[in-house]
């Protein structure tokens, strides 16, 4: 179960799209790219390349909020901190949490 999120099965809708549905096509591109982004991050983690992981987490931290997903910003920030500190096991745990969050991300209701 994800910490700070009461329902691990609940879909996560973009706040940006909730405010203005005209942004749906832009947000869709972001959401469609999440899987490949996560795959690259997991590859960096498998290779113990925590600097590459840190940079990718930093980028996701910025873009997640920009596309209306503050929970992605929060989780990516945690991963970035663990990667910067060289905390491999915490990175593994944070990556699993991030993967779970991303699996629930949708563009709109």
Domain limits, the chain: 28-106
CATH code, 28-106: 1.20.120.160
C-alpha to C-alpha distances, 92 to 78, 82, 88, 89, 98, nearest whole angstrom: 11, 9, 6, 5, 10
Q: Identify how many contiguous H helices and E strands the chain contains and give both numbers.
A: 5, 2
Is the separation of the CB atoms in 47 and 21 below 8 Å? Answer: no
For the segment 6-38, what is each residue's pLDDT rounded down to a tens digit? 455 799 999 999 999 999 999 999 999 999 999
Residue 5 has pLDDT above 60, yes or no: no
pLDDT tens for residues 44-86? 999 999 999 999 999 999 999 999 999 999 999 999 999 999 9
């Amino acid at each position: 179960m994800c910490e700070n999120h009461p329902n691990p099965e609940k879909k996560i809708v973009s706040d940006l799209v909730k405010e203005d549905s005209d942004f749906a096509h832009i947000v869709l591109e972001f959401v469609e790219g999440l899987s490949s982004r996560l795959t690259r991050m997991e590859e960096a983690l498998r290779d113990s390349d925590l600097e590459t992981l840190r940079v990718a987490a930093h980028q996701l931290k910025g873009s997640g909020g920009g596309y209306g997903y503050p929970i992605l910003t929060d989780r990516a920030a945690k991963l970035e901190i663990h990667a910067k500190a060289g905390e491999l096991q915490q990175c593994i745990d944070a990556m699993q949490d991030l993967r779970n969050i991303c699996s629930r991300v949708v563009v709109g209701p």
